[in-house]
Each structure stands twice: as structure tokens, then as C-alpha cells.
Amino acid sequence: MPQAVRAGAVRLDDYLKVVTFIKQLIQYSIMVIDSHTHIGEDVINQYKNFKPRGQTPAELVKKMKDNGVDKAVIFPCPAPLYFNPSSCDFMDRPLEPSGHDAFPYHLENRDVLRAARKYQNLIPYLSVYPHSKENVKSVKQLAGTNKRVKGLKFHGFAMHVKTTDLIGSEVMEMAENYDLAVLVHSDATGRWDGYASRYSHPMQAAELAKAHPDVNVIAAHLGCLEERFLEALSSVPNLFTDVGPYVHQFKKIGEEKGCGFKDIAKFTPRKLLEDLDKEFPRKILWSTDEPWTVLSGTGYKEEVGILRELPEAVQHRLAEENITRVLGL
């Protein structure tokens, strides 16, 4: 091979190495914030031997470090110690106190704040149960004295309380006064004969946002990509949605046929996120719902891997810019 050709090949090879290096620098300059994770134990899953049964703050932080995630929003698992797990089976029956805690999320919220003090890259939300005066009083006191608290988490499905019960409540008054986002569980699928959507239909999140325009409301789990919810996502300024556990949600929504959901049959997971970012600018928050990533049979690494496949500008919006703006970070 002529010397000039060999030199040109070397120069091209060096050029490609530099380009690759620059791309890596750009990628790793993006702060990745996981906007939906849990710590602690889930009483129902522990009782029924389901997965996931929970995780410690240290376990979450290690997963974040291993996968290049800089910060994460944390809050308790849905089923707190306060309730008897045999009554917390998501069926239509009254929840029964276990006698092991003073009021719902009493110990769990304190654990969240303790974890956030130990690990500065964790952003605490407090779980609320609007029909418990003790819970509301405690959450108000904790949020009022801890400026690191950036949001409230409500899981109507687990609590047997409709999301719309929050409208006009002391919980939303607290969120407005302390400038807290409100993240609510959402599910529009026909699981459990529609029981989940009775309490947590994503349109209830939309109604909540409309009723409280000064509070940022986040409907979890993409609102199942329910068409009416997507219309509201476009038109209601303070309504947002997160994506996790994304692999599981992608599979679950793709299996729904003729139920008013966005048709995603022709999408790959990456392509869907790109399209959602384009169609709903500033509204999509990247998240994993860790440790519920196990529902897809994969885990945290794959969730982060899909994010990293996206163009840098999309990564920046989904995993940093949008959640930073919503929480006022």
C-alpha cells in the first residue's frame, strides 16, 4: 500500500476516534434524572411473594451509578405498612389497618427523607393519603420544614381512592402553597375487570390538572397512551406524564386492541419516545419506576439503554430539561 494511502487511512481512523470521543463527551454531559422510583418495601408484594418486593436506597443508588444516572426522584412503594396486606389485594373491599403504624405512610415518608439526607442525588416526594387527617398533617409539616421535598405522590389504585378526590383538597392546597408537583398513578387498561382505571384513570389526572392550574400534575406510566388523555396532554399546560417502567408499558399498551389507545404496533421503543417528544414537547419525563423494571423481565440497564439510543437533544429534554422545569430545580 502506498505511503500516502496508509497515512490517509491513519488520519481517517484518528478522525473517527475523535468524533466518537466527542459524541461520548456530549452524551455524558447530559444530566440524567430518573423522575419516578421507589424505595422501601411493598407490603402487598411481600405478603403475596410477588416481585418486586422493594429496594433499599443503597441498592437504587448503586443501580444509578452503574448506569450513568445522576439523580432520581424517590418516594415510598404503593402499599404501606399501615394496611393489612391481606386486605390490600386491589379488590373492591375496605382496606383494614394492620396495627403496625400510626397512619398511612408515617414511617415510609420519614424513610424517604432520611435517604435523601444521606444521598444528595435523591429528590424526595412524600406519599399522600387524602382521607387520613394524620397523613395530611404530617406531610404538611415535613414538606414545610424540608425545602428538598419537590413533590407529592398519590396512588389511588392502591389506596382505593379516586384521583379526582384530590380536587379541592387540602393536599392540593398544600401543593400550591409549597410549590410541589403532584404525581399520580394512572391506568386505563382493563386489568382486574377495570378496577384499576376506576380509581386511577389518566383522565382523572387531566381533570385534576384542569381544576388546579397552578400545580404541575404528572400522570404516571404514559397515561397508557389513552387517546383522550393525549388530547388533554396537548391542551392542559400543567399536565405532564412519565414513561416508566417503559419496556413494560410499551409491551402492555401494545397488547391493548380497540380500547381507545394510541396504536403503537409499528413503533420500536426508541421511535415511540422520539415521536412522543416531538408531538408533546416539554411534556414527557423519562423514568423507570424502579424497582418495577422487573415487570418487563429486564431491568434498569435496558431502560437506561433505550434512553441512550436517542439523539442527544431528545435525551436532554426527556431526562433533564423537562423534569428540571416541572420541579423548579
**Residue 198's pLDDT is what?**
87
pLDDT tens by residue, 113-155: 999 999 999 999 999 999 999 999 999 999 999 999 999 999 9
Residue 268 vs residue 16, higher pLDDT = 268
Task: Give whichever of 41-55, 180-194, 306-320 has the largest mean pLDDT.
Answer: 306-320
Give me the mean pLDDT over the 103-114 stretch.
97
- Look at residue 5 and tell me whether its pLDDT is greater than 50: no
Residue 104: band (very low, low, confident or very high) from pLDDT cuts 50, 70, 90: very high
Tell which CATH classification among 3.20.20.140, 3.40.50.300, 3.40.50.1000, 3.40.50.2300 matches the domain 32-327: 3.20.20.140
Q: Which three cell numbers stand for residue 256?
A: 391493548
CA nearest neighbour of 108 among 79, 143, 151, 71: 79
Q: How confident is the model at residue 41 (pLDDT cuts 50, 70, 90)?
A: very high
Q: Is the dihedral of CA 200, 202, 203, 206 positive or negative?
A: positive
Answer whether 28's CB lies under 8 Å from 315's CB: no
CB 180 within 8 A of CB 144: no
Please report the pLDDT score of residue 20 as a whole number. 52
End-to-end CA distance of the chain: 58
Q: How confident is the model at residue 16 (pLDDT cuts 50, 70, 90)?
A: low
Q: Is the pLDDT of residue 182 over 50?
A: yes
Give, in order, the Cα–Cα distances in Å from 173 to each of 34, 93, 179, 325: 26, 29, 10, 21
What are the angstrom distances between the C-alpha of 171 and each of 14, 18, 81, 113, 293?
A: 58, 53, 21, 19, 29
Q: Is the pLDDT of residue 14 over 70?
A: no
Does the pLDDT of residue 255 top 90, yes or no?
Answer: no
Q: Single out the residue of 58, 215, 83 nearest to residue 152, CA to CA.
A: 215
> Whole-angstrom Cα distance, residue 321 to residue 312?
12
Alpha-carbon distance of 249 to 233, in angstroms, equals 18
Would you call 39 helix, strand, or coil by DSSP? Answer: strand
pLDDT for residue 27 is more than 80 = no
Task: Report the pLDDT averaged over residues 302-315.
Answer: 96
Number of Cα atoms under 13 Å in the Cβ half of residue 17: 6
Domain ranges of the chain: 1-30, 32-327
* Mean model confidence pLDDT for the chain: 89
pLDDT digit string (tens) for 52-79?
A: 899 999 999 999 999 999 999 999 999 8
